[in-house]
Amino acid sequence: MLKIAWRNVLRNKRRSLLSLLIIVIGVTVLFLVKGYIISTYAGLKMMSVAQYGNLQIAKEGYWDNRDNQRHLLTESEIAEIKGILAENEDIID
């Protein structure tokens, strides 16, 4: 079966070369688009950190998210954190 397929590829050289060329161009475009998207997100991330700062406060276990529960801060905890941060004059709300 492989022998027949190989003979068909060799018989239709131009069509086989065109198919291979289209595959190579498609993969190249996919890599370029993926690189562009990754670069754009990295730029947006750095821009937001430069503009707004990067202090992130969360409850213990929030970043792990292994148990599919949201470990969100309560209103009282947020008020307490805001009070602590308000004491520092370098932090802008």
* pLDDT tens across the length of the chain (93 residues): 889 888 888 898 999 999 999 999 999 999 999 999 999 999 998 998 888 777 778 888 777 767 666 778 889 999 998 898 888 887 776
Please tell me the predicted confidence (pLDDT) of residue 61. 75
pLDDT of residue 20: 95
Which pLDDT belongs to residue 49? 83
Identify the CA nearest to 74 among candidates 55, 93, 92, 59. 59
Angle of CA points 64, 67, 69, to nearest 5°: 90
Give the pLDDT of residue 55: 76
pTM of structure = 0.53
53 vs 46: CA distance, rounded Å: 10
- The answer to whether residues 72 and 59 touch, using CB atoms and an 8 Å cutoff, is yes
Q: Give the model's pLDDT for residue 93.
A: 63
Instruction: Quote the CA–CA distance of 23 and 15 in Å, as a whole number.
Output: 12
Secondary structure letter of residue 76 according to DSSP: H
CB distance 73 to 58 below 8 Å: yes
For the chain, the first-to-last Cα distance in angstroms comes to: 71
